[in-house]
Amino acid sequence: MHKIWLIIQREYLTRVRKKSFIVMTFLTPLLLAAFMVIPAWLATISDSSDVVMVLDESGLFADKLESKEDLKIIPIGGTLEQAKEVYQETDYSALLHIPKIDLENPEGIKVYSKKNTSLQVKFRLEGMLEKEIENQRFVASGIDREMLNKMKAKVEVTTVNLSARGEQDSNVWVTSGAGIIGAVIIYFFIFLYGVQIMRGVIEEKTSRIVEVMISSVKPFQLMMGKIIGIAGVGLTQFLLWVILSTIVVGGVQSAFGIKAAPTPIEQLQAGRAAAAGEAEAEESDEAAANNQTLAEVSSAIGNLNFPLLIGCFLFYFLGGYLLYGSLFGAIGAAVDNETDTQQFMFPITIPLIISFIMSYTVVIKNPDGPVAFWMSIIPFTSPIVMMVRVPFGVPASELLLSMALLILGFIFTTWIASRIYRVGILMYGKKINYKELSKWLFYRV
């Protein structure tokens, strides 16, 4: 055990002292802050009110297209050619031409601009025109639009968990998000630092450093020390990323009063909603519904079993890494260069990829189904799938069975990897295949 501890210290200290580790540890939070803050800052300095000239030859929209806070409407008369000439002499955003149209078939409306028309302007104009055409259709049909709006119904179903602790509010988005975040972190951590184990073994093997080390320690001790040492490096870097990212992003947003930039989809949806010009009553109802949703989300987050989530995350985080790390180490010992690792990496990574895909497509929809159950029990898929299931509530018997099998799986893969490792680290210049690897399992060294 003492020798394994010395190897862990060597692997850990060697890597955390590298310039690349220090640079990436401090650079990543800065890049994350820039990714979140810069788009929002650019959006604030680029926001400006659009001005649109409107030539209405139909007479249906006279004085009915009202200017908004970020979209100003300027009516203009004359012919289309005259309107184009006037528009060319201005710096307005666009010229909207409404020819004589039929309310039943409103075709021929065009927007002229000196450059490509932005989606925001296009959507807002379409929304304003659609609303006014609908209003006039309602009037022609003798339908009271206000009465029609009152007849619309919006139903919000509140989900409640019945447990030993009583009734607790839940939210499927919060529950799903909590599981997916943990699964994604584990998935990328296994790939990122598992490959580091493989590269580290290949580097020591090709430089013949391992021959010196083997004279003092057993191959199994060397492999275990390397796996655990690199795991410590990964945990250290991950925790520093979380702490530094929180500090940097929070500090920058507070200093400049910048909120995180909305996604392009959110921007387009907001433009559509604003263009539709809902009635004030509808807007107030929607605001109340949004406030209720936020309250439900906050309540659902507060009702999450964080000690269980954190405990399971740490267990499957380390368990999954140790299981796959031993296999990555065995691959590194079996080959002479990184190019030869592809044929062996693919079968190992298949369970990870499948579990990641199934988590999004099947498990998240039916976390208590047979597919979710078996994939959360099998050691090669349980680190990712079980993390998705835990927030939904997993029976203690299933959770304990999954953990026990993951431990047994780690012991089994470590045994297999150590058998390959003890032969492979001293094997040079020979192309290895699966048949040769199977023979190494029974070699006596």
The pLDDT tens digits for 29-42 are 888 777 777 766 66
Contact partners, residue 291, CB within 8 Å, separation at least 6: none
Beta bridge mates, 55: 97
- Residue 29 contacts by C-beta under 8 Å, 6 or more apart in sequence? 241, 244, 245, 247, 248, 249
The answer, yes or no, to whether residue 135 has pLDDT greater than 50, is yes
Banded pLDDT at 267 (limits 50, 70, 90): very low
Lowest mean per-residue pLDDT among 73-77, 163-167, 367-371: 163-167
The number of CA neighbours under 13 Å toward the Cβ of 315 is: 19
Average per-residue pLDDT in the chain? 76
8 Å CB contact between 226 and 197: yes
The three-point CA angle 222-228-234 to 5° equals 135
What average pLDDT score do residues 169-195 get? Answer: 77
Query: Would you say the pTM of this structure is higher than 0.85?
Result: no
Left (φ > 0), alpha (ψ -120 to 50) or beta: where does 335 sit? beta
Which residues have CB under 8 Å from 34's CB, separation 6+?
none
Q: Read off the pLDDT of residues 69-94 as tens digits, 9 standing for 90 and up.
A: 678 888 888 888 888 888 888 888 88
Q: 285: burial class by Cβ within 10 Å (0-12, 13-18, 19+)?
A: middle
- Share above pLDDT 90 across residues of the chain, in percent, rounded to a whole number: 6
Average pLDDT over residues 337-356: 83
pLDDT confidence tier of residue 400, bands split at 50, 70 and 90:
very high
